[in-house]
Amino acid sequence: MMELTGKKALIFGVANDHSIAWGIAKAFHAAGAEIGFSYAVPTLEKRVRPLAESLGSDFIEECDVTSDAAIETVFAKAKDRFRTIDILVHAIAFANREDLAGRFVDTSRDGFLLAHNISVYSLVALTRAAMPLMPEGGSVLTLTYYGAEKVVPKYNVMGVAKASLEATMRYLASDLGPQGIRVNAISAGPIRTLAASGISGFRDYQRSFAGVAPLRRNVTIDDVGASAAFLSSDGARGITGEVLYVDSGYNIMGMLTSEDE
Ligand code: NAP
């Protein structure tokens, strides 16, 4: 569908074949991109390596994004392997399970800082590290959710982190635009992934979502992948600082009543 032939992409955030980052990787591969992968912790390698190799990738490196040294190392390896890159995908988020249940007002200082460190500051750190590898410009993409804008029960600290992520994306887009680097976010509808399983009541999100979204269905990692390929392609060369909704139209609804009610 989209043309990414000749482009090189670094993708952070594949945990398994349910990951949104995996949907993005498959779409990039189908569009002709060469892909490098980075995963969070050593135990993930056994799952990520076979997936990456199935797309012909030989760059599969660990990086805990809370570590500046780890980020420096992974980008030094990427420079050795690819010389330059065209696309950076940030599909990373984390919050303590107890902060994704109960009341937001009870969020601890540590839980708040942890969620923001992993889910938001990492976009700044990865983008800064990627800049020298993008001398001819490029595309940076992150993943957000509607809970950034409206209160979604139990999403709590992650909603606040996503609001910060969206603002971060816009400030980065402003800084990097003069160098031809575009920075955008995809706001995806709820998809059952490892990260999503940490949110209490996630099944209810998906059920009520499909009942009221104009397209009357949940979105898939392949839907997100196709839109990510578009945003990273030259077809989106005039787009930066934008949140693109891949959510079956859910965000346009002003009154959330199901047809079935
Ligand atoms: P996922 O498969 O669990 O991916 C999340 C990734 O973040 C995992 O690979 C995870 O690794 C990684 N991560 C966590 N802490 C990290 C660290 N310190 N360093 C490096 N990587 C780390 O879940 P996903 O749903 O696809 O999430 C991808 C992105 O999409 C997230 O930003 C999420 O908020 C966003 N999003 C998801 C949905 C949804 O409904 N699923 C909707 C909208 C937006 P570990 O497994 O080791 O923790």
Full-prediction pTM beyond 0.95?
Answer: yes
For residue 156, the domain's CATH number is 3.40.50.720
Q: How far is the CA of 167 from the centre of ligand 1 (A)?
A: 19
Q: Is residue 229 domain-resident?
A: yes
Q: Is residue 257 domain-resident?
A: no
- Ligand 1: atom nearest CA of 165 is 32
What percent of the residues of the chain are helix, what percent strand, and what percent coil, each to the nearest 5? Answer: 50, 15, 35
List, chain by chain if needed, residues with CB within 6 Å of any ligand 1 atom. Answer: 13-15, 19-21, 40-41, 44, 64-66, 91-94, 118, 143-145, 188, 190-191, 193-196
Q: Is pLDDT at 215 greater than 70 in this prediction?
A: yes
Q: Is pLDDT at 43 greater than 90 in this prediction?
A: yes
Q: What's the CA gap between 170 and 164, in Å, rounded?
A: 10
Indicate the number of domains in the chain: 1
Q: 227 is written with which tokens?
A: 């839109």
- Ligand 1: atom nearest CA of 41 is 47
Task: Give the rounded percent of residues in the chain with a pLDDT score beyond 90.
Answer: 92
Q: Is residue 39 domain-resident?
A: yes
Q: How many CB atoms lie within 10 A of CB 3?
A: 14
Give nearest CA residue, ligand 1 atom 46.
Answer: 15
Q: Is residue 258 domain-resident?
A: no
- The confidence score (pLDDT) of residue 212 equals 94
The residues carrying an active-site annotation are 145, 155
Q: Is residue 259 domain-resident?
A: no
Three-state SS string across the chain, please? CCCCCCCEEEEECCCCCCCHHHHHHHHHHHCCCEEEEEECCHHHHHHHHHHHHHCCCCCEEECCCCCHHHHHHHHHHHHHHHCCCCEEEECCCCCCHHHHCCCHHHCCHHHHHHHHHHHHHHHHHHHHHHHHHCCCCEEEEEEECHHHCCCCCCCHHHHHHHHHHHHHHHHHHHHHHHHCEEEEEEEECCCCCCCHHHCCCHHHHHHHHHHHCCCCCCCCHHHHHHHHHHHHCHHHCCCCCCEEEECCCHHHCCCCCCCCC
Q: What pLDDT band is residue 255 in, cutting at 50, 70 and 90?
A: confident
Q: Is residue 223 domain-resident?
A: yes
Give nearest CA residue, ligand 1 atom 2.
Answer: 19
Q: What pLDDT band is residue 260 in, cutting at 50, 70 and 90?
A: low
Q: Which domain holds residue 46?
A: 8-246
> Which of the listed residues 68, 94, 152, 192 should we mutate to test ligand 1's pocket, taking the one with most ligand atoms within 8 A of CB?
94
- The confidence score (pLDDT) of residue 199 equals 82
Q: How far is the CA of 21 from the centre of ligand 1 (A)?
A: 8
- Ligand 1: atom nearest CA of 142 is 32
Question: What's the mean pLDDT in 231-258?
Answer: 94
Question: What's the mean pLDDT in 155-171?
Answer: 98
Average confidence score pLDDT of the chain: 96
Q: Is residue 3 domain-resident?
A: no
Q: Is residue 108 domain-resident?
A: yes
Q: What is the per-residue pLDDT across 85-131, written as a single tens digit (0 to 9) for each? A: 999 999 999 999 999 999 999 999 999 999 999 999 999 999 999 99
Cβ(158)–Cβ(119) below 8 Å: yes
